[in-house]
Amino acid sequence: MKGTLYFVGRAMFRGINGLLKRFGLVLSKPDFVHGSPAFSGALVLSRRMFQTKDLLEKLDQVEGDIVEGGVHWGYGLIIELLLTNKKIHAFDSFIGHSNATVSDLKSENWKPLDKSFAVSKDDAIKTVLLGTTLTREEINARIVFYEGWVKDTMPAWAQEMEIKNRKIAYVHADMDLYEPVKEIFIRTYPLLAKGAIVSVGRLNNPELAGKTKAFKEFIGLIDQSGIDIKKTLIIDTNGSEQEHTYFIKR
């Protein structure tokens, strides 16, 4: 019931906001309506930049490519293009999230993930083109897109990477739901170079319990002496502190 009221209220607020914009007026409450598209994009890009910058700066001497788990609008791709010279493997369904599992539905404050995450590959590429000075040819030389559910696309990709003896230096694994998060951990871990970083994101999130379960199960499957788990504090859009988790391959 609480989740339904949230989405109904947000839809009404957005509708009113859209109507007022025709007259040059904007009601802006980013933590509820995510602001206007321009404001939202600037906010997401700048926050992701600050959160990612320190991690990517550690990778100068680390061999390997980047895996972007969940492209959405492509802001993460812009940051990775700007702050590194590495090849990027970008995974997304481009039709939104996969179905929630029992592990996800057990979240204390579960809210169904809405269609705002369903961004087409063409729109994501357009974001990168508009947000950089790169040509489409230059982008194609740096980014390879894998369209579909990761459980379907990652096994063959991982096998090909292993055959070619290619390594991974950085993984953005913040894919929200249990199934894709666990898949990306399991498939990328054997490919990690020494010093590689895997960005997990926020754990123990009452809205996304499936991701925490996926991480704990993954940790139970590996030799934990092979990684260093790190935590850092970030400030959310509502001003509260959040703990961000990542690990480094020894």
Task: Tell me the pLDDT of the chain averaged across its residues.
Answer: 87
Q: What is the pLDDT of residue 241?
A: 79
33 has a pLDDT exceeding 50: no
Give the relative orientation of helices 150-163 and 178-188 as an angle to the nearest 10 degrees. 0
- The rounded distance, in Å, linking the Cα atoms of 183 and 118 is 20
Structure tokens at 166: 């290619």
What's this model's pTM, rounded to 2 decimal places? Answer: 0.83
247 has a pLDDT exceeding 80: yes
235 has a pLDDT exceeding 50: yes
Q: What is the pLDDT of residue 10?
A: 64
- The rounded distance, in Å, linking the Cα atoms of 111 and 207 is 6
The tens digit of pLDDT for each residue in 88-129 reads: 999 999 999 999 999 999 999 998 887 778 899 999 999 999
Structure tokens at 111: 């809210």
The tens digit of pLDDT for each residue in 158-216 reads: 999 999 999 999 999 988 999 999 999 999 999 999 999 999 999 999 999 999 999 99
- The rounded distance, in Å, linking the Cα atoms of 116 and 43 is 16
The tens digit of pLDDT for each residue in 82-97 reads: 999 999 999 999 999 9
Residues contacting residue 121 through CB under 8 Å, at least 6 positions apart: 71, 92, 94, 145, 147
* Strand bridging mode 88-92 / 168-172: unpaired
Every domain of the chain and the residues it spans: 1-35, 48-249
132 has a pLDDT exceeding 80: yes
Q: What is the pLDDT of residue 138?
A: 96
Q: What is the pLDDT of residue 152?
A: 97
SS (H, E, C) the chain: CHHHHHHHHHHHHHHHHHHHHCCCCCCCCHHHHCCCHHHHHHHHHHHHHHHHHHHHHCCCCCCCEEEEECCCCCHHHHHHHHHCCCCEEEEECCCCCCCCCHHHHCCCCCCCCCHHHCCCHHHHHHHHHHHCCCCHHHHHHHEEEEECCHHHHHHHHHHHHHHCCCCEEEEECCCCCHHHHHHHHHHHHHHEEEEEEEEEEECCCCCCHHHHHHHHHHHHHCCHHHEEEEEEEEECCCCCEEEEEEEEEC
Q: What is the pLDDT of residue 29?
A: 47
Q: What is the pLDDT of residue 32?
A: 41
Q: State the first-to-last Cα distance of the chain, in angstroms, to the nearest integer.
A: 46
Q: Which CATH number describes the domain made up of 48-249?
A: 3.40.50.150
